[in-house]
Structure 1
Amino acid sequence: MHAERFDLAILGGGLAGLALACALRQTRLKIALVEQRAPARLPGWDARIYAVSPANAGFLQELGVWKHLPIERLATVQTMKICGDAGARLVFSAYESGVSELAWIVESSLMACELWESVKRQANLTLLCPAQPKAVEISEDHAHLLLSDGSALSARLVVGADGRDSWLRQAVGLSAINFDYGDMGVVANFSCELPHRSIARQWFLGASVLAWLPMAGERVSLVWSLPDDQASDLLTLGAEEFCRRVAAAGGNELGKLALLTPPAAFPLRLLQVPQTVAFRLALLGDAAHGIHPLSGHGINLGFQDARVLAQLLATTPEWQDIGSQRLLRRYQRARREETLVMQGATHALRQLFRHTLPALRPLRNVGMNLTNALPVIKNLLVRYAVGPF
């Protein structure tokens, strides 16, 4: 069977995979992108939103995508207020830290559609959609892929950007460690009675973590991490009672809430992948790591995976094999520290506030108050979160 040859095959057209493809648009590499379905614009507001760091907003700007996002759908986070479960408070301010914003709040579908439009026009890319891989075989000089429609292709490097349950990761036997939190993330969007003033709000409420993220206009997006049974109960409520419950959990800080999107829920898991590369293979985005959503940092890790891998591939001399494990280990080393820091920090915070030991409650709240009283420490945390400029 004839198999078209490529330099790079990317499995998965989510945000991270599309960003990688787009970042390589001016290289000599011949790229194939395999995706089951194209992203679509939703009729209303997308309940899946991301807090995009300024560094990654800059990355999307370099890709030529950011300028096409509708400004009326974007919002900035200027302040972040975090409340403990015994009156402790921690406040981060963009102004006090000398940055223009802490994050941009962007709907997932907006970014996906703009990235998709970019790769559709990309001269060095072949878009295979709808398509999905069925088998992979690694040889000395190529990775060979068989697709479900019977067609085949080969590439010097295959990148798995195919999500948390990555087909490629499983097909080649790269191990993954899953930690099920026994929680669900409930998401929804609301219009709010009182102005949010570009403040992201987060409450640690014992067994749950509640977050309200400011959206364009007087709207907020909910991410509420709850034990499975509590999340299921919440989803059975009517719209009015659901709004009342969410508003009350946040101390009615924004007055009455009105539902804009139906609530949805997804299971929360920590995903650790000890080896994210192998001979002719690399993983990025959710295929390579998964963290608790309380930081809103997941997509930022994926975008930085794409940026680092694209830079490595773009600067590799033509005579050098882009599928060599020695080369790909440089990508793995470059991404390991940030991933481990974010996974460790979010996991530790979740475990610390979930614990019911009486002695821990005052300690964790004192820790928050102490951090809040030390501007130097707070500014360092902000600088790490917003990323390099």
Structure 2
Amino acid sequence: MQFRLEHQDPGSKARSGTIQTAHGEIQTPIFMPVGTVASVKAVHQRELAEDIKAQIILGNTYHLYLRPGTDILNRAGGLHQFMNWQKPILTDSGGYQVYSLANNRKITEEGVAFKSHIDGSKHFFSPEKSMEIQRHIGADIIMAFDECPPYPSTYQYARESMDMTHRWLQRCGEWLKENDPLYGFGQSLFPIVQGSTYKDFRVKSAETIAEFGADGNAIGGLSVGEPAEEMYAMSEIVCDVLPHDKPRYLMGVGTPANILENIALGVDMFDCVMPTRNGRNGMIFTSEGIINIKNKKWEDDFGPLDPNGPTFVDSQYSKAYLRHLFAANEYLGRQIASVHNLGFYLWLTGEARKQIEAGTFASWKNIMVEKLQRRL
């Protein structure tokens, strides 16, 4: 993997660049749709590529390990072939899912024992096991195995968790050195900065991750319940330490406003289930604000879903029709909302890139953040 930094916004720390992978280019800043189980929920791969214009998607190690399993993925030739997606893929390490299974897991230095959310069966993830699974999945970018501490965490817990994450990173690197890729192309490991909301730990973790010398770096442990101001403060601290010439990935963030604010701090890559999850519940993100399509006010609005929207659903369907689909509990409504929201998120990061290239990002961002948070 190679990263080429291309533009720096004069009024902020926002920047644009290009990541080159075996499966194509990624222009940053970029949003990655979440394809948890080899599928971005309710969206065809053709829609992702042609209408939404996704450049990279995310797969989930924990879920893909449980089903279809690494044997099926290996026999298919990896996740790209299995789901017929020939653009880049990033996989997480399973660490966040382990965090979310707090009542069904036990963490030790060796790794994490947990019970499947599907059938209660017992499993064990170590750094080595996470790397092995991600080898079989075959993503272009893979994540180091980490522990995501809860918010709030005590100072002692955050320190012990961060130190263990750093030790696990070394084990991930050693395993990868000893085991070749499976499908004829290289995989880039991204370490993950942890440290909860403690400034000294975030600095220490970012310095440790920077010294590892990976192709890119991730920021984890945010968007787990802390106030937005804490998120921004930690992102800024970390971005000021991480290498300038490597992509920075903020995991699991967030709202459109969150994304723009973090781009302004120097973040390049994002993922979040919000556009599809909220879309399935009737929340429509637009450049003018947020629409709750279930509200009665849209019942006889026969205008286009979003006259400024970039996807085919924005002009082909009206607000009234989409509201009707939700009222009738028709799954097509959830599909339309998901396609729209993902298209909007990709438009937003693409427009941010244009503004960075023009040197106008900072002023544009301030206007957009205010508009994005309005309820229409």
TM range (shorter): under 0.3
Structure with bigger helix share is 2
- Larger RCO: 1 or 2 (CA < 8 Å, sep 6+): 1
TM-score by length of 1: 0.27
TM-score by length of 2: 0.28
Structure with bigger strand share is 1
